[in-house]
Structures are given as structure tokens and as C-alpha cells.
Amino acid sequence: MKYKETNPCNQLRSHIHSFWELQGEENDRVWERIFPDGCPGLVMNLGDSCITDNGSVTMEHGKTYLVGAMTTFKESFMDEHTHLIGVCLKPSAFSSFYSYVSLNDLKNQTVLFDQNLSFDKDKFNGENHTDYLNQFFIGRKNSKKHRIVSLLKHIQNSMGSLSIEELSKSNNISVRQLERIFKDSIGLTPKEYSSIVRFQKALNLIKSPRKGRSLLDIAFECGYYDHSHLTNEIKQKTGRIPSQL
């Protein structure tokens, strides 16, 4: 399987993590598992029909799908006829390009996207799609500043350890209003997003082992109560235990 990831232009880097392309190769027949990262995305299917969301959704050729933020893993079936183009948005970026629905309705969902708001399939005939995607999103970008951006930075800077009450107090906003802003803007509650930030930190540490650092050390470093708490969180979000990652 061939996977290629490219960075957006400087104008878009505060809104988009990356553009990516995935193509199947001969004899590929595998369920690919992805883990939650708190980010929504857009996927256009240029290949044959592709089964995703653990078998519950079929992405059809030539259509674009909106992928909501995930709180647990999902699997997609890939074979030699798979060809997907995708955009990984930053958590709060969707509303900078689209006025659509509350992203809370799309949590853990993959839904057909309005084709009038989507990409031009014919623009993907060449080798390099990055220029077209940069131009597409620059053309859609609005200049509105969203309060959610600073709220997300507070959580990211604390690596998910900041309590919701602390976040509420430091931003002079009620917990109830905080919940609404998060659900509408990124499709997750503050607690869910904090959990994903903390999980991603732990995942990176587990995948980059350091001599003398145990799983218990990682648990404490990432703010988990103990070894079991971390293991249960990993299992919930990946379907695997730490030693299988």
C-alpha cells in the first residue's frame, strides 16, 4: 500500500494538518485501523467502493465524505483498487471553510458530503494534487476568529491534564457554555478532547520507548492514575493493549 502525506501551504497551516493520498497495490487485502486524534477530515474516493467505519459505511467512487472526530478506533478495508485522497483538518478548522451542521452530530460518523461544496474530481488526474488543494481551501477560507482556538490551545499546552473547571475559570466562561462551544465547533466535549490529547501523548511515548521507562512511568507522566487506567484507555481507543501497538 502506498501512502503519501504532504503539508499545506503556509496560509493554511494553522487550519490543516496535512493532505494525504492512499493507493492500494497488487495483493493488498487488509483492514486498516486508525486511532482518534480529535480531528475531522474530508475524503474523496477515486477508486472502487471502499468499506469503512468497521464495515458500516461504503464510500462510493467519485464522492466525498466528511469524517467526524473520533473517540475510538475505526477500520477500513483496503485492496488493490483502493484510491483515496484526504484532508486532515485541525480540530476547530471546519467552520473556517464551511457553514454546515454542528459537528456534534458527526462524532464517530462518516457521512456523504455535499458535492457542490466538494472537490472537482477531474483536478486529481495529475501526479501532484497539493497545488489544487491549497487553492481550493484558500478560496474557501474565511477570516473569522473563533474562540474555540484559544480553548484548544489551553488543553494542548497542558497535554490534556487541565480540568474542565480550570478551563472554564481561566477563560471566564461557564462549564455549560464551554460544552456547547466544543460540541458545535469540533464535535467533542472538552473532556473527550482532553482525553484524546492525553492518549496521543501516551501513544507517542509507547511507540518511542526509552530505556528504563516503564508503562507505569508513562501512565504517571501522562496524568493517568496507574498502569491499569492507561491500559484501559488504550484498549478503548485502539482496540488493542499497549504491547500490541
User: Tens of pLDDT along 56-82?
Assistant: 999 999 999 999 999 999 999 999 999
Together in a domain, 128 and 177:
no
Q: What is the CATH number of the domain that holds 94?
A: 2.60.120.10
Separation between Cα atoms, residue 65 and residue 152, nearest integer Å:
25
Phi/psi at 232 (5° precision): -65, -40
Q: What is the pLDDT of residues 171-223, one digit of tens each?
A: 999 999 999 999 999 999 999 999 999 999 999 999 987 777 899 999 999 99
Together in a domain, 80 and 181:
no
User: Which residue range is the domain that position 172 belongs to?
Assistant: 148-244
Together in a domain, 8 and 121:
yes
Q: How many domains does the chain have?
A: 2
Q: Which of 140, 168, 201 is where one domain is finished?
A: 140
Together in a domain, 7 and 96:
yes
Together in a domain, 116 and 152:
no
Return the SS3 of 147. coil
Together in a domain, 237 and 202:
yes
Q: Which of 140, 157, 184 is where one domain is finished?
A: 140
Q: Which of 124, 140, 156 is where one domain is finished?
A: 140
| pLDDT for residue 101 is more than 80 | no
Together in a domain, 230 and 112:
no
Amino acid at 10: N
Together in a domain, 155 and 106:
no
Q: What is the CATH number of the domain that holds 206?
A: 1.10.10.60
Together in a domain, 39 and 131:
yes
Predicted confidence at residue 83, as pLDDT, reads 97
| pLDDT for residue 108 is more than 70 | yes
Q: Which conformational region is residue 160 in: left (phi greater than 0), alpha (psi within -120 to 50 degrees), or beta?
A: left
Together in a domain, 132 and 157:
no
Return the SS3 of 65. strand
Phi/psi at 238 (5° precision): -120, -15
Separation between Cα atoms, residue 18 and residue 119, nearest integer Å:
16
Average pLDDT over residues 40-48: 97
Together in a domain, 126 and 158:
no
Computed over every residue of the chain, the mean pLDDT equals 93
| pLDDT for residue 136 is more than 90 | yes
Cβ(185)–Cβ(106) under 8 Å? Answer: no
Together in a domain, 42 and 123:
yes
Q: What is the pLDDT of residues 161-174, one digit of tens each?
A: 999 999 999 999 99
